[in-house]
Amino acid sequence: MKDVTILTQNGVNVEKSLELFGDMEMYDATLGDFLEAVETKLKNLKQFKETADMPNFAIEVHSLKSDSRYLGFVALADLSYELELKSKANDLMYIYDNYNALINEANRIINLSKQYLGREVKENIIEDMVSIPKDETILVVDDSNLVANFIKTIFHEKYNVYIAEDGSKAIEYLNSEDANKIKCCLLDLNMPNVNGFEVLEYFKANNLFYKIPVSIITGNDDKESVERAFKYPIIDLLSKPFNERDVKRIIEKTISYYS
C-alpha cells in the first residue's frame, strides 16, 4: 500500500485534489500520467526560455500550473503562475532570475511522486546548467546594464562575470591580479569614453588576443564598423537583439577557440 504521507508531509495538498479525483486510485493514475509528460514539458520550457519565445513559454508554463493545481503541488503551481504572468508581460529578466527555482521545485515534486509510486528516484531529472567552482571569469564590456546583467544572469552559476561599463574599466580589469582568470571577453563596440575599438587596440598592443579570445557585441549595422572590427583577430560577432541561445553559442565558441 502506498504511503500518502510521503506527499502530504512535503507540501502536497492531496486532500484538496481528492475533491476533483474522488479517490486515490484515480489520483494515482493521474499522477502517473503527469510523470509521463512532465519531463518533456520542462525541456520545452528550457528551449523557449533560451530562445526568448515568451508566447510559447507562457502556454507551456500555464499547462504546468494547471497540472500542479489539480495534483495539489501548491508551490510548483504558484511558481508556474508567476512565470506565466511575467512571460505574458514579456519580462525576460524575471523569467531568467526565477526559472531555476521552478526547475528545482519541479525536480523535487517529480522525485516525491516517484518515491510515492515506488519508482526509481534520480537526483536531478532536469538540469539547466551544471554548477562548477567559479574560478574562471567572463569579461563583459558593455555600457548597457540591461545587456550586461542579462549575460551575467545566464552564466553566473558557471563563471564569475565581470561587467565593465566602458573600455577604461575593462582595461583597468585587464591590468588587475584577476586578469589571468579571464576565459574570454565579450566587447561592445559603441561605448562612451573609451570605446570598443580602443579596447581592441589595447589588446593588440599588449598581445592579449591569443591569451583572452574576444568576440564583439554590436547593435550597429554599419558595415564599415563591422569590417573594421574584423581586421583584429576577433572570434565572432553577436548582433543585438539576441537571446540566451545566441549568447551561449558565442561564449562557448569564444572560450573554446584556442583550447
Is 89 within a domain?
Answer: yes
CA–CA separation, 93 vs 58, rounded Å?
15
d(CA 102, CA 211): 38
Q: What DSSP string runs through 131-198? A: ------EEEEE-S-HHHHHHHHHHHTTTSEEEEESSHHHHHHHHTSGGGGGEEEEEEES--SSS-HHH
Residue 164: CB atoms within 10 A of its CB come to: 24
The fraction of the chain above a pLDDT of 90, given in percent, is: 65
Number of compact structural domains in the chain:
2
64-78, 152-166, 196-210, 216-230: segment of lowest average pLDDT = 216-230
Identify whether residues 95 and 201 lie together within a single domain.
no
Strand partners, 239: 218
Enclosing H/E stretch for 216:
strand 214-218
Clarify whether residues 80 and 172 are in a common domain: no
What nine digits make up the cell of 236? 565572432
- Distance from C-alpha of 234 to C-alpha of 126, rounded to nearest angstrom: 35
pLDDT at 128 > cutoff 80: no
Residues 36 and 97 in one domain: yes
Pair 55, 142 in one domain: no
Structural domain ending residue among the three candidates 84, 117, 150: 117
- Claim to verify: residue 104 and residue 181 sit in the same structural domain: no
Phi, psi of 200 (to 5 degrees): -60, -40
What is the domain extent for residue 237?
137-256
Grouping H, G, I as helix, E, B as strand and the rest as coil, residue 12 is strand
Is residue 184 within 8 Å of residue 212, measured between CB atoms?
Answer: yes
Is 92 inside a domain boundary? yes
Nearest to 234 by CA among 217, 221, 220: 217
pLDDT at 194 over 70: yes
CATH number at residue 223: 3.40.50.2300
Last residue of a domain, one of 117, 152, 175: 117
Q: Give domain status of residue 122, yes or no.
A: no
Domain assignment present for residue 12? The answer is yes
List, for residues 207-256, the tens digit of each pLDDT value.
999 999 999 998 766 788 888 999 999 999 998 888 889 999 999 999 99
| The pLDDT value given to residue 221 | 61
Residue 211 lies in a domain: yes
Residue 68, domain CATH: 1.20.120
Same domain, 206 and 108: no
* pTM for the whole structure: 0.68
CA distance 220 to 224: 10
- Mean of the pLDDT values across residues 42-52? 91
Please say which residue of 89, 117, 145 terminates a domain. 117
The mean pLDDT of 2-10, rounded to a whole number, is 92
Query: Do residues 203 and 237 both lie within one domain?
Result: yes
Q: Is residue 61 located within the same domain as residue 144?
A: no
